[in-house]
A and B are shown apart, each in its own frame.
Chain A
Amino acid sequence: MRSITIAAKNAFRISVEAENISPDKLAPLTIEQIGSLFVWQGNRQKKLSDLFVVEGDDGPATVEEMTIRLVGDFSQVKRIGEGMTAGVVEVQGSVGMHAGNNMLGGLLSISGSADDWLAREMRGGKVVVMGNAGNYLGAGYRGEKCGMRGGEIEVRGSAGAYLGEHLCGGSIRILGDAGDFAGAVNQGGTIFIGGSTYLPGAEMSKGTITVKREAKVLPSFLKTEIVQIDGLAFQKYAGDNVDNGKGELLVGVGSS
């Protein structure tokens, strides 16, 4: 195994775009080479070592062997782990927007919270957030036909609006609440929400959305039967019928 630590030199007031911080990009490089990769801060191109301290095992290594630990304030650092195919990125704290964009494999774990667009258009691998996630978790970028297509996302806290919008596959599990329009235009993925949400599954054509507590359901969903899951009762709905959708929406009954 090869393990390196990247520490933020300070809390950035101007956000940083650091798509180079991924196991695929760093595994073949030495510590020194990593330091001379480019990142953008605002409209300025900088060396990674200008903004971060890089320490740990020297390379190269395979992508699978690579673990990257991020310490300090990464809440204004965007695109961490973009397109990663294997290995581990472990964020000790919170992370900025677009982390895990187009991720294909490996593990992205965040001990704090994640900003908007986490795991946007993800295709494989696993993302775990101990805190909360922002809006558009696992969604497709605006105008994109598909959001997440595969893999697994787990959020221990709550998620923002448009959770899993345009979902085409994979599974998302939120232990807390989700914001408005969770699972909009779901085309085949699975969403579980441990808390409550508002207007889930708008325009969904396929897939399943389960809401354990409460949900305001759109009038275009058809109430079907009551089903039992793990000893709990759920009201099942079919929809979204504005688009002849064949999706499944389950909302908890009686649990409080």
Chain B
Amino acid sequence: MIVKGGIVYDPANGLYGEEMDLFIDQGRMVEQAKGEEIDARGLLVMPGGVDAHSHIAGKKVNTGRIMRPDDARQGTEPRTAVCRPSTGYTVPNCYAMGYRYARMGYTTAFEAATPILEARHTHEELEEIPIIDKGALTLFGSNWQVMECVRDKDLSKLAAYVAWGLRAARGYGVKIVNPGGGEAWGFGANVKGINDPVPNFDVTPAEIIMGLAQANEMLNLPHSIHLHFNNVGKPGNYTTALETLDLLKDIKPSRMRQIVHVAHMQFSAYGGTSWRDFESKAPVIADYFNCHNHATMDMGQLLFGSATTMTADAPLEYGNARLTHNKWSNHDIELEESSGVVPMVYFRKMLVNAVQWAVGLELALLVKDPWKVLMTTDHPNGSPFVNYPEVVTLLMSKSKRDAEMATLHEQVPKRTVLGGIERELDWTDIAIMTRAAPARILGLEDKGHLGPGADGDVSIYNLRPEEVDTSQDHALVKKALANAKYTIKGGVLVSKEGRILAAPPGRTFWVDAAVPQADTDRLMIDLEEKFAKYYSIQIANYAVQDAYLPHAKVIRAGLPVPLQEVA
């Protein structure tokens, strides 16, 4: 396949809007190829979009669907010759997830939170999401085995458990959500800060985070720890964010990447002592990111309208349910986590919501290096992913931001600095924040760029970057981004102007990390006892079988382990 004459933005390979042809052969980018020609003359061309933090599969997504028949009725589309039927807006069905990402030019999305115990469900759903490539991060932050290893300062056993857990969950990386809080919630409590001990375990969130970060680097995992801070969503929580980030700054990375990726930073950049004096602390957070290189973030942008909040931070969801009197799901995951789901509507005239909206944008605009900030909405917590074009245009247009600001609660200019930010992002920034950076942060070598050997994932938009004024013509830009002119996934033309042309299955990435057998042997003694005493299932039935991942892509990592002698 040949993509002819596009204006190519491929920042990972130093291309910032160059007119050139692209070649794809057998699903990969190559130097030369023949075949079908796609006319992209003068049009914006980027690598396929990569979403490093989204909630697209598993039990809490499905709970959201069950709780919200009102949401299912929105966005229904009948089946076509190619597509199965779609339903839903904030919690679409599996098929719709694949089609809607592909329409926007996205070709990869990672599910951000799966407990090992529920990973089989996650993979059943991921397998049903067509077109895009996927992966799932695995929750470790309130896990009994993790906390015991941290308490005993047994780092090699912790690394062995992380490797075992990733293999059992067919997971891609280490996710930590409100560390210790998921366990405390089992007793109706929460941890209040990173030095507040977890009930019954004699460890602090700070120790859990440090232990997992060290184990993560020991195992040489492609992705860093992926951290949802303590105190997310609370006034004054920016101090928790800064304390936590500072904790990690001296750890040596095992790869050329960050030590910690911060999930949905917007929800952790708040000042004030209560909802009354609630304000943005995005400038302080952005300053920290500008002065340090060990951390990256995704925005977790909030948009006005309908959302469904879902997180392993169960006490946070309890707070949401009390605040909104809305439907609430609360869930305990045995020795591993807790979680919750609450539907939500965000309002322009509600001061807290309006400030939250501004905080996300401030973060993305005030952090100077676009490689450190990913464009996300923490789908569907801040807004469903179909609204990414709205976020991108807000970042690219000061006049759009000003027009929006004029419709918000009148206190917003006093509580935020957004109105004074002149910066408007360009296509290079956007290509980094939606393609190159998420791929690099996740450690996906073949994603987010268009160099030879990369996956043949290309998105082409009906926009002429040399003519369109992104600052003024934001409505045009938004429309073009919502439906790519062409989306190519693995060398297959999957979407054209919003119409799905083909729906091949996508792959699921997971990480198999090697550890010394002696460490695993020590670990298994602990685990066998836990399964015998506490788990509701047998250890033999725990791990996800390969049959659940018919399109698996295994990435090897781990400690250098001596080859075993063949007997």
Contacts and interface: CB of A to CB of B under 8 A. Distances in A.
Given A142-B66, A142-B69, 8 more contacts: A141-B69, A143-B66, A143-B68, A143-B69, A143-B327, A144-B69, A144-B70, A145-B327
A222 to B, nearest CB: 24
Interface SS, A side: loop
Nearest to B67: A143
* Most chain A CB inside 10 Å of its own CB: which residue of B66, B68, B69, B327: B69
Interface string B64-88: 0011111000000000000000000
Interface of A: 141-145
A141 B66 CA distance: 10
A198 to B, nearest CB: 25
Contacts of B327: 143, 145
A141 B71 CA distance: 12
A143 B70 CA distance: 8
A193 to B, nearest CB: 27
A144 B73 CA distance: 12
Interface in B288-333: 327
A143 B62 CA distance: 12
12 contacts: A141-B69, A142-B66, A142-B69, A143-B66, A143-B67, A143-B68, A143-B69, A143-B70, A143-B327, A144-B69, A144-B70, A145-B327
A136 to B, nearest CB: 13
Interface of B: 66-70, 327
Contacts of A143: 66-70, 327
Interface SS, B side: helix
Contacts of B70: 143-144
Nearest to B66: A143
A33 to B, nearest CB: 23
* Most chain B CB inside 10 Å of its own CB: which residue of A141, A143, A145: A143
A142 B71 CA distance: 12
Nearest to A140: B69
Contacts of A141: 69
A19 B67 CA distance: 25
A117 to B, nearest CB: 12
B246 to A, nearest CB: 43
A145 B67 CA distance: 9
> Nearest 4 CB-CB pairs, A to B?
A143-B69, A141-B69, A143-B67, A144-B69
A141 B72 CA distance: 12
A97 to B, nearest CB: 15
Contacts of A142: 66, 69
Contacts of A144: 69-70
A146 to B, nearest CB: 10
Contacts of B68: 143
A142 B69 CA distance: 7
A253 to B, nearest CB: 36
A142 B327 CA distance: 12
A211 B70 CA distance: 32
A144 B70 CA distance: 7
Contacts of A145: 327
B336 to A, nearest CB: 26
Contacts of B66: 142-143
B327 to A, nearest CB: 7
A143 B68 CA distance: 6
Contacts of B69: 141-144
B322 to A, nearest CB: 14
A144 B72 CA distance: 11
B31 to A, nearest CB: 47
Nearest to A145: B327
A142 B67 CA distance: 7
A144 B68 CA distance: 7
A180 to B, nearest CB: 21
B366 to A, nearest CB: 40
Contacts of B67: 143
Nearest to B64: A143
A202 B463 CA distance: 58
A145 B324 CA distance: 14
Nearest to A43: B79
A141 B70 CA distance: 10
A141 B68 CA distance: 10
A143 B327 CA distance: 9
A19 to B, nearest CB: 14
Nearest to A45: B78
A252 B66 CA distance: 37
B453 to A, nearest CB: 43
A144 B67 CA distance: 7
B201 to A, nearest CB: 32
B329 to A, nearest CB: 10
Nearest to A144: B69
A203 to B, nearest CB: 13
A245 to B, nearest CB: 15
A117 B69 CA distance: 15
A31 B206 CA distance: 75
Nearest to B68: A143
A143 to B, nearest CB: 5
A144 B327 CA distance: 9
A142 B65 CA distance: 10
B139 to A, nearest CB: 25
A56 to B, nearest CB: 32
Nearest to A141: B69
A143 B66 CA distance: 6
A143 B71 CA distance: 10
A23 to B, nearest CB: 23
B78 to A, nearest CB: 10
A141 B67 CA distance: 10
Nearest to B73: A141
